[in-house]
Amino acid sequence: MPTHIERSGDLLTIQQDVPWLSRLLMLPLLLGSGYLFRIFFLSVGDVLGGVKESELLAGQIICLVGGLLIGVPGLMGFLIRNSLVIDKAQGKVTKFYDYRLFSIPSSFDLSHVSLITITWEDLLEQNKTGPDRDIFNVNLVRPRDHHATMIAFFRTLKEATDLANELSVALGIHVKDLSDTEPDEDCDPEQLDSATPSNPRLQGVLRGSPRQTNTPPQPSARPPGSAPARP
């Protein structure tokens, strides 16, 4: 997913475009909403043409309410674009849910952020890795507020690591890679120190290959040639 980083003085802006596939999934909702609105406006024309309003009122209400319930979420999902603005001078972080027509801001203090983490999501919940399963998130962790704010998500660990390291240099905040922990441990600010790789990959193995799930048996400690101990 394309991520754009802009610097302007003490302002650091991070924007990530929503994949077009996600936008295309909203088209059935928009088409369904348009169909209901079409029926509604046709019924209004019938009323203006002499048909009694009482005969069409129930259908008009159903079409209008249904069109709004389907169309508004579909339009928001089609237009949404997330951005994060970090103001180092004022010590404030603001995340915008931008819907082009309007935006919803959510702010918190930069001083509350003590760690940048890289976490992963197993999309198929099979505790395995693969190009169609993994999503890597970059988060700002606020232990004081018991909350983690996702900045961006990527398909590869390298992209997530590059962004996390760039933020670490710009903000002077440490990075912790939790991509080898179980998904339910990843974003718990209270358990970051205890989150350890529960299913580690082999040294040098990149994401996209199955995790090592079987541990080879430890060699026997008894001297060679000696008989096994009897109970």
Reported pTM: 0.60
Helix (H) or strand (E) segment spanning residue 3: strand 3-8
Query: Helix or strand or coil: residue 41?
Result: helix
187 and 94 part of one domain: yes
* Alpha-helical regions (H) of 155-208: 157-171
Distance CA 69, CA 27 (A): 14
The CATH number of the domain where 115 resides is what?
2.30.29
Read off the amino acid at residue 51.
Answer: V
Is residue 215 domain-resident? no
Domain count, the chain: 2
Residue by residue, pLDDT tens for the chain (231 residues) are 567 778 888 888 888 777 777 788 899 999 999 999 999 998 888 777 777 777 788 888 999 999 999 999 898 888 888 888 889 888 899 888 878 778 888 888 888 888 999 988 766 555 555 444 578 889 999 887 678 888 888 888 888 898 899 888 888 889 998 877 655 444 455 555 444 443 334 333 344 333 333 333 444 445 555 555 554
Burial class (CB in 10 A: 0-12, 13-18, 19+), 125: exposed
